[in-house]
Amino acid sequence: MRLGTSSVTIWSTGHGKDRVTVCLAAKGNGQKLKPFKIFRGGKRDVKRMNEDRRLSGMCVIRSSANGWMNESLTVEWVQYVVGRLSFAPRLLVWDT
pLDDT single digits (tens) 54-77: 766 788 888 888 888 889 999 888
Residues 15-45: tens digit of each pLDDT = 676 778 899 988 888 889 889 988 887 655 6
In angstroms, the CA 37 to CA 31 distance is 18
Burial class (CB in 10 A: 0-12, 13-18, 19+), 37: buried
Q: What is the pLDDT of residue 45?
A: 66
Statement: residue 1 has pLDDT above 60: no
pTM given for the model: 0.67
DSSP secondary-structure letter at 33?
Answer: P
Following CA atoms 67, 72, 74, 79 in sequence, which dihedral angle do they give, to the nearest 10 degrees? -130
| Rg of the chain (C-alpha set) | 18
